[in-house]
Amino acid sequence: MCGIVAYIGNKQAQPIVIKGLKRLEYRGYDSTGISIYNGSALHTLKTKGKVSDLEALIAQHPEQKATLALGHTRWATHGVPNDTNAHPQTSNSGNLVVVHNGIIENYASLKKELIHRGFTFSSDTDTEVLVNLIEDVQQQQGVKLGQAVQIALSQVIGAYAIVVFDRRKPNELVAARLGSPLAIGIGENEFFVASDATPFIEYTKEAIYLEEEHLAIIRVGKSIKIRKIKDDSLAEPYVEKLQMSLENIQKGGYDHFMLKEIFEQPKAIQDTLRGRLLSDEGVITLSSLREHDNRFLNAKRILIVACGTSWHAGLVAEYLLEDFTRIPVEVEYASEFRYRNPIIYPDDVVIAISQSGETADTIAAINIAKEKGAFIYGICNVVGSTISRITDTGCYTHAGPEIGVASTKAFTTQITVISLIGLYLGKANGTLSRSQYQEYLTELSTLPTKVEQILASQTFIEEVATSFKTAQNCIYLGRGYNFPVALEGALKLKEISYIHAEGYPAAEMKHGPIALIDKEMPVVVIATKKGYYDKVVSNIQEIKSREGRIIAIVSEGDTQVKALADYCLEIPDASEPFIPILSTIPLQLLSYYIAVQRGCNVDQPRNLAKSVTVE
Ligand code: G6P
């Protein structure tokens, strides 16, 4: 949460930082700011609102030519979103500015001490405490900026990614991280520091992903020096070649990133399968599994930890992995798991699922499981992310950058990876017969085309959305593999359209939600042919007799549900374990069009952020 962009080099810094902040708005967008150093003075402009509001503010001020700037887009933790609490935060002397992503947990005691020493504070933020703490170290100990930051950070409890600038050191930026990501782009005599690599992708393909508890001293004209915050020792920088392209992070003619990402799913699933599913040869090549298959095959249990949409993918995994491997699977909200003293055995396999690879609760859950000796497998989308680095092994989804806050292609590709894992293990431990395995393999390779077919019904789904856009509540029902899809459908609707929506296992309707059904209540029922069809049809009858309005997701050629439902959205038939990849697509489109028709900002829904790096 919160996006950081800083530039130091030979180009005009302000436009680079502003453009970079726009790319990072998915991380938070309630307030924003920029500090610019023009060679003699440091100018800071901050505002509540989005980066476009900051641009408007900048336009009201004299143009600044500067080759150094630090910017921030915020998701508030300490202090309401307003101009004062926005970052950069400035130290009392005006010499230092800091942009920060994370939470300083002991800020209250540090602040008290700083006030005692004569510091004053104008904001409610923990960041203003941090910048003054650094200044205090400088004043007390007379050390260089890098060392002052290192000493200050060693007093801090919490999580941070920070960039610090001292106007008395105009050729230098100091960046540090613990728990929140930072990437450093290395250009020709110029450096970029950002929460991810997207702000600098058109300038350089070389980047250093700063390691946990590392601090970088970045000087123009010189190389980067990296030190460990704990003991100030030097660390060797590891420069990576970025695979991402500018095209990946642009809307490409779509109105919103979310729509683009929904339509990217056939390719994204194909990319997930590429080189891993060799269906003609009957082979799945997942080196992460091959090298560690004894850990999986000897596991008495698989635990899955995740948050949000990734947790829903975990629920699908529970059905699929148990079906394919007969290994018991438990799925946990990472946020609950981390605080409830979980029982973890050394022979457990823990699968952590995360699009961003940066979710604070999932990271904490992994660390707990690691301490107890479990083997940790990560399923991440963002290459080089924290989770991909702290797990024992894992598998990328290769969905490409997901920028819309509501997760779409990450979900379907996570389930694709899980399908590969299930098939690999099911074959290896003999749960799946040869013929069953081969059938599933062949079918998996047909999914991208089936997703394409569903996407072709876009216009009809848009029409259906018109009938439901004024709803205030909505219920989603599904059974078996489609139960997690119902939860995911409801989450998509509530997060982007602000319509209250609940997902339920269809049979649970009788234990409460049925009381809500009247002619005002839309009920989305996933009623595909495979998967307790007759039972779901009975549930539809029950809704119908209470005058609920029904939108059903049905298999191609269905007639029975069509006779009952107000609207039917068809999907191609598939084996039950693969249905979630298909049945979720019309629900994504339905939510998207309802939100657009309600005038909501689908890519940046209120109060949300894509990467939740605070607990
Ligand atoms: C946020 C995002 C969701 C995402 C969840 C978990 O809430 O808005 O889209 O599912 O975090 O994130 P992760 O990156 O761990 O999958």
Q: What pLDDT score was predicted for residue 609?
A: 83
Query: For the CA atoms of 78, 80, 82, 85, what is the dihedral angle to 10 degrees?
Result: -20
Q: Is 598 helix (H, G, I), strand (E, B) or coil?
A: coil
Asked, as a colleague might, if the bond just before 88 is cis with ω within 30 of 0, I would say yes
> How far is it, in rounded angstroms, from Cα 477 to Cα 496?
19
User: pTM for the complete prediction?
Assistant: 0.87
Q: 10 Å Cβ neighbour count for 290? A: 11
Atom of ligand 1 nearest to the CA of 495: 8
Q: What pLDDT score was predicted for residue 26?
A: 86
**Cβ of 614 below 6 Å from ligand 1:** no
> How far is it, in rounded angstroms, from Cα 568 to Cα 460?
10
Closest C-alpha among 567, 477, 488 to residue 526: 477
The two tokens of residue 580 are: 């979630």
Contacting residues for 417 by C-beta, under 8 A, at least 6 apart = 272, 379, 395, 397
| C-beta of residue 482 within 8 angstroms of C-beta of residue 509 | no
Measured between its terminal Cα atoms, the distance across the chain in Å is 10
Half-sphere CA count of 27, side-chain side, radius 13 A = 31
Q: What pLDDT score was predicted for residue 62?
A: 87
Ligand 1 centroid vs 309 CA: distance in angstroms? 6
**Cβ of 265 below 6 Å from ligand 1:** no
Asked if 610 is an active-site residue, the reply is yes
Strand order in the sheet with 214-219: 89-90, 96-104, 158-166, 172-178, 214-219, 225-228, 234-235
Ligand 1 centroid vs 420 CA: distance in angstroms? 22
Mutate to test the pocket of ligand 1, among 196, 258, 307, 611 (most ligand atoms within 8 A of CB): 307
> How far is it, in rounded angstroms, from Cα 51 to Cα 548?
43
Q: What pLDDT score was predicted for residue 250?
A: 87
Asked if 22 is an active-site residue, the reply is no
Q: What pLDDT score was predicted for residue 78?
A: 78
Q: What pLDDT score was predicted for residue 126?
A: 94
Closest C-alpha among 463, 439, 460 to residue 577: 439
Catalytic option among 2, 380, 474, 568: 2
Determine which residue's CA is closest to atom 9 belonging to ligand 1: 407
Give every residue of the chain whose pLDDT is below 50, as ranges: none
Ligand 1 centroid vs 358 CA: distance in angstroms? 9
> How far is it, in rounded angstroms, from Cα 569 to Cα 584?
11
| C-beta of residue 574 within 8 angstroms of C-beta of residue 447 | yes
| C-beta of residue 302 within 8 angstroms of C-beta of residue 322 | no
pLDDT digits (tens, 9 = 90+) for 359-375: 999 999 999 999 999 99
Residue whose entry in the numeric block shows the structure tokens 């790096």: 613
Mutate to test the pocket of ligand 1, among 2, 25, 405, 407 (most ligand atoms within 8 A of CB): 407
**Cβ of 385 below 6 Å from ligand 1:** no
The secondary structure of residue 202, as a DSSP letter, is T
Domains and CATH numbers, the chain: 3-248 (3.60.20.10), 251-454 (3.40.50.10490), 457-603 (3.40.50.10490)
Sign of the alpha-carbon dihedral angle for 570, 574, 576, 579: negative
